[in-house]
Amino acid sequence: MEERNVDAAALAERVRRARMQRDLNQTQLARAAGVSQSTVSRIEKGDREVTLVEADALARALELPLDTLLHGSGVQERVLVALRTATRGVDRGAAIGPGVELLEFDERLDTVEPAFRQQPRPAPVTPPPSGAPSTQGARLAATLREALQLGEGPIAELPELIEEVTGVDVASRPLVGTSGMCLDDPQRQTRLLLVNSNETAERQRFTLAHELGHLLFGDGAHVEGLDGEDREVETRCNEFARNFLAPQQGIEGWLARNVNAGQMSDQVVSLLARYFGVSTEVVKIQLERMGRRAAEPVQSTPVSAARYGWRAEYDAAQVSAHRPRPPRRLAQRAASAYARGLVGAAAVAKLDGRAVADVEAELAELRVATAPQTRTGGRVSVDSLLARAAARQQ
For residues 332 and 387, which has the higher predicted lDDT (pLDDT)? 332
Q: Are 173 and 98 in contact (CB under 8 A)?
A: yes
Give the Cα separation of 392 and 106 in Å (integer): 33
pTM beyond 0.85: the answer is: no
What is the dihedral angle through the alpha carbons of 316, 215, 22, 73, rounded to the nearest 10 degrees? 150
* Mean pLDDT, rounded, for 33-47: 91
pLDDT at 260 over 50: yes
pLDDT of 115 reads: 85
Using alpha carbons only, give the angle 351, 56, 61 rounded to the nearest 5 degrees: 45
CATH class held by domain 1-72: mainly alpha
Strands (E) across the chain are located at 80-85, 169-173, 178-185, 190-196, 222-225
State the span(s) of the chain assigned CATH 1.10.260.40.
1-72
- Per-residue pLDDT band for 87 (boundaries 50, 70, 90) equals low
Highest mean pLDDT among 52-66, 67-81, 266-280, 354-368 belongs to 266-280
pLDDT of 262 reads: 59
pLDDT at 372 over 50: no
- Per-residue pLDDT band for 231 (boundaries 50, 70, 90) equals confident
What is the dihedral angle through the alpha carbons of 226, 229, 231, 234, rounded to the nearest 10 degrees? 70
At position 240, the amino acid (one-letter code) is: F
pLDDT of 389 reads: 44
Give the Cα separation of 249 and 243 in Å (integer): 9
Query: 104-153, pLDDT tens digit by residue?
Result: 889 888 888 888 999 888 888 999 988 999 999 999 999 999 999 999 99
- Per-residue pLDDT band for 177 (boundaries 50, 70, 90) equals confident
* Mean pLDDT, rounded, for 241-253: 97
At position 113, the amino acid (one-letter code) is: E
Supply the DSSP string of 213-234, one letter for each residue.
Answer: HHHHHT--SEEEETT-TTSHHH
In terms of Cα–Cα distance, which of 183, 175, 167, 220 is closest to 73? 183
Neighbours of 120 (CB within 10 A): 11
Q: Are 138 and 239 in contact (CB under 8 A)?
A: yes
